[in-house]
Amino acid sequence: MKRTGFLILLVSVVSSFFTVMIYKYFDPPQQVIIRESSPAKYTNYTDRLFSDVAKRQFLSSAPTDFTSAAGAVTPAVVNIRATTENDFDLWGGYGGSTGSGVIISPDGYIVTNNHVVEDSDDLEITLFDKRKMEAKVIGTDPSTDLALLKITDERNFPFLQMGNSDSLLVGEWVLAVGNPFNLESTVTAGIISAKGRNINILEDDYSIESFIQTDAAVNPGNSGGALVNTNGELVGINTAIITRSGKYEGYSFAIPVNLAQKIIRDLKDFGVVQRGFLGIFPEEITEETAESLGLASMNGAFISRVNGNSAAEDAGLEAKDVIVTINGNDVNSVPELQEQVARFRPGNTITIEYIRDGKKQKTEVTLKNQSNTTSLIGARDDDLLMKLGFELREITDRERKNLKIGSGVYVVSILRGSAIEKTQMDPGYIITKVNDKRVSSVDEIITEFQNTKGTVMLEGFYENFPGEYYYAFKVEQ
């Protein structure tokens, strides 16, 4: 009996062994891949199957691997605490508002939302490693809800590389990174839901709303934080959510970084935004408008009126024209038109494609300022100043407050080979006196120059260097 049972067991084992061997011989084993990483590719790569894929202009990593991007981004996102003298609370301290900001350069420049720092007297920055530092406001732009700050400490800071918001595609993965309530950092993931969104939250006369909409979770305290692609490049500044409960409900909005870069440069160079204008009244294209004009689609911006002596009139644009591209970038709506134009200064020339009488045409447009000239607002290049070799502007109220001075005139730029360059003066010099007489405007400086025969002595200072600096040169009448 025992012998019989043993034989049965032996036959079963041998049969099972041969069955498995035969199965493996005829059917090789499959691999179960729990996680597989793919190498990074340039996203302008296309193959024969997808030859119509839009070309991309930055390096993007695997679309669902967020760890590298999160690790690169979080050290450059800070917490901002803004207080005013009126923010006294019952506990004997100061209240104020809080938000997030993004360090964009190694010397400590930060971009955030205007509503985070609006009307503030003091700014406290908390870095990723919990260090606290002071910052000052360089400039603000309510029209786009952006602000530029500068950390007062002189050291190297981690910062984010700029991406290309034009290349974003609906459905693409992005990360929203903030530093709210001193929680060090928060990272959420989502996709691009739409582009060129206008949600009517900005009340400025020249407001620009062309938001990137995402479903990445953004909650109070994340305003001013970073929206990044999966390669860790900054593509937007998180600004707003649409909600009924006061909490995140699936709709968040960010300012495109391509627009933000221009605003940041203006605030850094001039203290104010140099905004170019077409001089038109644009409208969205309705079904009736498209039918009456014989348009193939409702994409574009319809010109209902052209202002006299405007940039648009000078370029030959007319009412009932439909703008479809600016510098080769598609214009599908009025917000997209406003965003594209807002990237340029007065005096810049852009290429516009438009449809008139069913035919596509092209024109070159030189943008103007609010006063219908091509001059930069706040910067003066009068003949005498240009002859001497520099551009000047009045300092802003914010600069006057930060610098703790009553008056002064800011040197915007210096021409090579000019009399001013030979004095070794650098841009950023703040003139406080001309021939020992205090000056508070460009006009006062020009008057002093005109009334001087011979040598002019300038007295002033540089924001980041201690002491007074003096420069002398001759004015030839």
Q: CA nearest 86: which of 75, 98, 96?
A: 96
| DSSP 8-state secondary structure symbol assigned to residue 277 | B
**Residues 251, 227 contacting (CB under 8 angstroms):** no
Class assignment of domain 280-366? mainly beta
- Within 310-398, strands assigned E span 322-326, 329-330, 349-356, 359-366, 390-394
C-alpha span between 207 and 186 (Å, rounded): 29
**Residues 369, 342 contacting (CB under 8 angstroms):** no
**Phi and psi for 335 in degrees, rounded to 5?**
-60, -40
Residue 413: beta bridge partners?
391
Whose structure tokens read 């839901």?
193
240 class by beta-carbon count within 10 Å (0-12 exposed, 13-18 middle, 19+ buried): buried
- Within 308-370, strands assigned E span 322-326, 329-330, 349-356, 359-366
C-alpha span between 88 and 95 (Å, rounded): 6
Per-domain residue ranges for the chain?
Answer: 53-268, 280-366, 383-475
Instruction: Write out the chain's pLDDT in tens, 477 residues.
Output: 445 555 555 555 555 555 545 444 444 332 222 222 222 222 222 333 223 333 444 444 445 678 888 998 999 999 999 887 665 554 445 567 789 999 999 999 999 999 898 878 889 999 988 899 999 999 888 888 999 999 998 889 999 999 999 889 999 999 999 988 756 788 999 999 999 888 777 665 567 788 899 998 887 788 899 999 998 999 999 988 776 666 666 788 999 999 999 999 999 888 888 889 999 999 999 999 999 999 999 999 999 999 888 999 999 999 999 999 999 999 999 999 999 999 999 999 999 999 999 999 999 999 998 777 887 766 665 678 888 888 888 887 777 887 888 889 988 878 778 899 899 999 889 999 999 999 988 889 998 998 888 899 999 999 888 899 999 998 876
Q: Which residues of 18-55 are buried (b: 16+ CB within 10 A; e: fewer)?
A: eeeeeeeeeeeeeeeeeeeeeeeeebeeeeeeeeeeee
C-alpha span between 401 and 136 (Å, rounded): 10
Write down how long the chain is.
477
**Residues 174, 189 contacting (CB under 8 angstroms):** yes
| DSSP 8-state secondary structure symbol assigned to residue 180 | G
| 280-366 matches 383-475 in fold | yes
C-alpha span between 177 and 16 (Å, rounded): 56
| DSSP 8-state secondary structure symbol assigned to residue 88 | B
Fold for 53-268, please state it.
Thrombin, subunit H (2.40.10)
Distance of CA 463 to the CA centre of its chain: 25
Helix (H, G, I), strand (E, B) or coil at 257: helix
C-alpha span between 97 and 87 (Å, rounded): 9
Sign (positive/negative) of CA torsion 324, 329, 331, 332? positive
User: pTM for the complete prediction?
Assistant: 0.69
| DSSP 8-state secondary structure symbol assigned to residue 368 | B
Sign (positive/negative) of CA torsion 285, 289, 294, 297? positive
| DSSP 8-state secondary structure symbol assigned to residue 111 | E
Active site (catalytic) residues:
115, 145, 223
C-alpha span between 173 and 183 (Å, rounded): 24
Helix (H, G, I), strand (E, B) or coil at 408: coil
Residue 83: beta bridge partners?
122
**What pLDDT score does 384 carry?**
84
**What pLDDT score does 385 carry?**
86
**Residues 412, 391 contacting (CB under 8 angstroms):** yes
Question: What is the pairing mode between strands 109-112 and 409-414?
Answer: unpaired
In sequence order, what DSSP letters do the residues of 31-85 get, joined into one string? P--S------EETT---STTTTSPP--SEE--TT--HHHHHHHGGGEEEEEEE-T
Tell me the CATH number of domain 383-475, given options 1.10.3720.10, 2.30.42.10, 1.25.40.10, 3.40.50.300.
Answer: 2.30.42.10
Assigned token pair, 279: 């001089």
